[in-house]
C-alpha cells in the first residue's frame, strides 16, 4: 500500500495527464500559480477587522473557501515538486534541519524574531 502523500500525488498527476496539462506545467508557471493561489488564500482574510480569527470564529463559507485555496496550493506544490524531480518529505526534512540551526530552540522560544536578530 502506498503512503498517503504518494497516493494523493498520483491522483493529481493522473488528473493533469487526462487533461494533457503537463505541457503548461513549467517550473515558472507552477511557481507563479503557487504564489497566486497563496495570495488568493490571503485575500479571504484581507479586510478582516479582527487581528486574529480562531477556527471557532470562522463561518462555514470562509472555512470552505479557505480549504479550497489550501487544496489549490497543495496541488500546485505537488506538481512543482514533481517537475523538479524532488521528494517532498526530503525537501521538508532538509529545510527543518536548516531551520533548527538558524533557530535554536533555546534562543528563539516564544520569539517571532528573524534568525539574524536572535542573540548570538
Provide the residue ranges of all domains of the chain, joining segments of one domain with +. 4-86, 88-120
Ordered per-residue pLDDT tens for the chain, 120 residues: 888 999 999 999 999 999 999 999 999 999 999 999 999 999 998 887 776 667 667 889 989 999 999 999 999 999 999 999 999 999 999 999 999 999 999 999 999 999 898 888
The structure's pTM equals: 0.87
Helix axes 60-83, 88-102, angle to 10 degrees: 100
67-77 burial code (b ≥16 CB/10 A, e <16): eebeebbebbb
Return the CATH number of 4-86, one of 3.40.1410.10, 3.20.20.70, 1.10.40.30, 1.10.287.1080: 1.10.287.1080
Name the grid cell of 70: 489550501
- Residue 48: its pLDDT value, please? 79
- Residue 52: its pLDDT value, please? 66
Amino acid at each position: 500500500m502506498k503512503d498517503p502523500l504518494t497516493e494523493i500525488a498520483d491522483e493529481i498527476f493522473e488528473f493533469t495527464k487526462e487533461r494533457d496539462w503537463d505541457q503548461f506545467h513549467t517550473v515558472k508557471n507552477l511557481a507563479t500559480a503557487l504564489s497566486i493561489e497563496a495570495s488568493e488564500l490571503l485575500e479571504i482574510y484581507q479586510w478582516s477587522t479582527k487581528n486574529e480569527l480562531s477556527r471557532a470564529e470562522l463561518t462555514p463559507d470562509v472555512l470552505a473557501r479557505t480549504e479550497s485555496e489550501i487544496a489549490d496550493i497543495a496541488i500546485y506544490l505537488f506538481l512543482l515538486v514533481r517537475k523538479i524531480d524532488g521528494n517532498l518529505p526530503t525537501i521538508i526534512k532538509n529545510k527543518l534541519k536548516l531551520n533548527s540551526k538558524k533557530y535554536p530552540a533555546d534562543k528563539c522560544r516564544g520569539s517571532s524574531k528573524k534568525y539574524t536578530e536572535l542573540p548570538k
